[in-house]
Structures are given as structure tokens and as C-alpha cells.
Amino acid sequence: MKEFLESYKGEIKEVVLGKEGKSLIIGGENTLPFHTFEGKMPHLPVLALEVWDKEPENWPEHLLSNFSDVISSPLKWAKKCVDVFKADLVSLYLASTDSDEFDSTKVALMVKEIAESLPVPLTVQGIGDKDKDVIVLKEVAKVCAGESLLLGPVVKENYEEIGKAALEFGHSIIVQSPLDINLAKELNVKLSKFFPRDKIVIDPLSSALGYGLDYTFSIMERIKQVAVIHGDDLMKMPMIASIGRECWKTKEAKESKEQGVLWEAITGLTFTLAGSNLVVMNHPESLNLIRKLIK
């Protein structure tokens, strides 16, 4: 049998999330996703639930109702994700910074409180505004020194500033490029000049089923192939798929609970098959569905 199996050149780097005692490792595989018959996959993809630091406005009732008792407290919401819904980790979305007046110190202290209280690692994601994200993520990096957060998204316009702050205070980063494998590599090249490669998670930009999922799938698949098969050192980082927000803004997911949960679960599962090592979701039931399938 052995002579029929492929062995590959590249091994995905292991990235450690969270500080000692409550850390999680992602990556480490030296084969294509779930090809455990021809290589090792020491860590299954991990599943995060997303928490907002401001009440979401356009969520359908069948999503919101999971969190209605905790929706006004990001801390309680985060705890519920871990204690009740058994998420591997929590991803905090800084929705409150989508405004002209936010207090970055206050936001950072809130993040700190959550990070310290949780028994699992924390990912912190800005709203994707290249300027606001710099302000708030730099402050979060500083205030949460030592928590080994995963911060992002870091893009070509702000990688230097956020990267330097993450490096100084010991955090990992999510490096995002717009569905373009060459630009993903380009950003990794630039970051690698001052930032350790084992603290980078690639975000090729996720989309939902029916809304460009196939583009994301192709890029993820190629990134994993380039890393594992061709051994490209600059692409050997684990990948993240943030799919919750993408899925729950579709009209299909809003229509009914069953459809929404399946929409999110199929999107997330598809990306784990393409090589995603960390999936960020919104609905606990879709998380459970994926967990059952990949176990």
C-alpha cells in the first residue's frame, strides 16, 4: 500500500493560540486536508463562535435567540459560547468600533477582561476598516500583552503598524488578502521581514455558499497545495475562514433556522475540506454539525 501513497515536501506551521494553560494549536499537517492515510494531521480544525461587543442589528430571531440572555454583555456571551455551546475558542468582533466615536482604551479593557476570564483562546477581529483597525488593534495588543491573542484582519495597508504591535506584545495575526493567492504571498513576504512566520494565520477572505464560496474554496485549496505539495515556505501558515457574518447576511439563512444552520454548516465544512484550520461561526448548531462531521 505504501508505495501508492504520496509524500509531500511541506508541513504547515503550528500556530499556538492563547497563553499557557489554555492554549490551542492549529496547523501542523504535512498532507492535504484530512488525507490522514498519507500523512499526519495532528490537529483537527478548531471551531470558534463569534461574539459581538455591540448588539447585532440585522440578525434573524432564530440566530439571536441563542444569545438573547447575554446579548448585552460580551463577557457573558463569550462565556456562554464556551460553557454551554462548547466552542473551542471565541472570536470577538469589535462591532462597536464601526462608529466615528469609539474609545479604543475602553474597547481594549473590555477585550482584556474577556481574555482573562475565558478558559479558551480569544481571537479579536476589527471591522475591516484599515484605519480604525490600526487604532483599536494596536491598543488591544498593548493592553492585552501576554494573552497571546489572534488579532486581525491585517491588510496590505496596515500590516506594518499592527504587525509591530502584535510582535511587541506577543500576539499572532490574521493576514487578509482579497481572494488573490499572489497578493496573499506578497503580504507574507513583507511581514516575514520582521514578523515570525509561526504567528501568522492566512485569511484568503471567505464568502458564503451561493455568494462566491467556490472562489474562496479554490484559493484555499491552492494555498494548501502550494504549501504542502510544493513546499513554499511563505504559504505554510494555517488558514482561517470567518464565515458567520457572511452566511447570516444571506437571505437564505435569514429565511428559516433550518436553512440558516445548514447554510453556515455547509459553508464551514466546505472550507475545512479546502484546508481551513480555524472556522469562525455564529450559530451553535452549525458548529455542532461540523464538529460531528469532522470528528
Binding footprint of another protein on the chain (CB under 8 A): 181-183, 185-186, 188-190, 226, 230, 232, 234-235
Min dist. Cβ of residue 228 to another protein (A): 13
Q: Under a CB-based contact definition with an 8 Å cutoff, are residues 45 and 276 in contact? A: yes
Cβ–Cβ contacts within 10 Å for residue 116, how many?
12
Cβ–Cβ contacts within 10 Å for residue 1, how many?
5
Q: Kindly tell me which of 69 and 157 has the beta carbon lying closer to another protein.
A: 157
- Grouping H, G, I as helix, E, B as strand and the rest as coil, residue 76 is helix
Give me the residues paired with residue 155 across strands. Answer: none
Min dist. Cβ of residue 229 to another protein (A): 11
Q: Kindly tell me which of 19 and 185 has the beta carbon lying closer to another protein.
A: 185
Q: Kindly tell me which of 223 and 269 has the beta carbon lying closer to another protein.
A: 223
Q: Kindly tell me which of 204 and 268 has the beta carbon lying closer to another protein.
A: 204
Supply 65's cell numbers: 435567540
Min dist. Cβ of residue 189 to another protein (A): 4
Supply 242's cell numbers: 470567518
DSSP structure string for 154-200:
E-TTTHHHHHHHHHHHT-EEEEE-SS-HHHHHHHHHHHHTTS-GGGE
Min dist. Cβ of residue 182 to another protein (A): 5
Min dist. Cβ of residue 181 to another protein (A): 7
Residues in the chain: 295
Q: Kindly tell me which of 216 and 242 has the beta carbon lying closer to another protein.
A: 216
Q: Kindly tell me which of 77 and 217 has the beta carbon lying closer to another protein.
A: 217
Cα–Cα distance, 235 to 226 (Å, whole number): 7
Q: Kindly tell me which of 13 and 254 has the beta carbon lying closer to another protein.
A: 13
Place of cell 490574521: 174
- C-alpha triplet 226, 181, 289: angle, nearest 5°: 80
Min dist. Cβ of residue 267 to another protein (A): 26
Min dist. Cβ of residue 42 to another protein (A): 25
Using alpha carbons, select from 122, 114, 91, 112 the residue that is nearest to residue 206: 91
